[in-house]
Amino acid sequence: MKVLWFSNCELGNNVSKGSGSWLFAMCRIICNSVELINATLSNVDQVVYNKYDTFSEVLIPKFKLKDGIPEEKNTKVIQEVIETINPDIIHIWGIEGFWG
């Protein structure tokens, strides 16, 4: 499964292939009005923060799951990301996963 995040697509060229295409339209509409930060799970070893001209993104490691959720130490990593970013709105993409 390919993980979709803004920086691995050509956002400025309106290129979106497959699932999540609405994210690009949302970004173009609101990124000049609010601070837009996309957070997604990715094949990274540690949390990665990328800052671009009109938005930021946080790549969170795909932690191994036990009984459908990450270990407590890894849920704390996610909690720290949320507390650091301190967003007004959190959109959860993939509520069929442990996020829900």
pLDDT in tens, the chain (100 residues): 334 445 555 444 445 555 566 766 776 677 667 777 778 888 999 999 888 876 788 888 999 999 888 999 999 998 998 898 887 777 666 667 777 6
Using alpha carbons, list the distances in angstroms from residue 54 to 25, 47, 73. Answer: 13, 20, 32
Q: What letter would DSSP give residue 19?
A: T
Q: Is the pTM of this model over 0.85?
A: no
d(CA 48, CA 61): 9
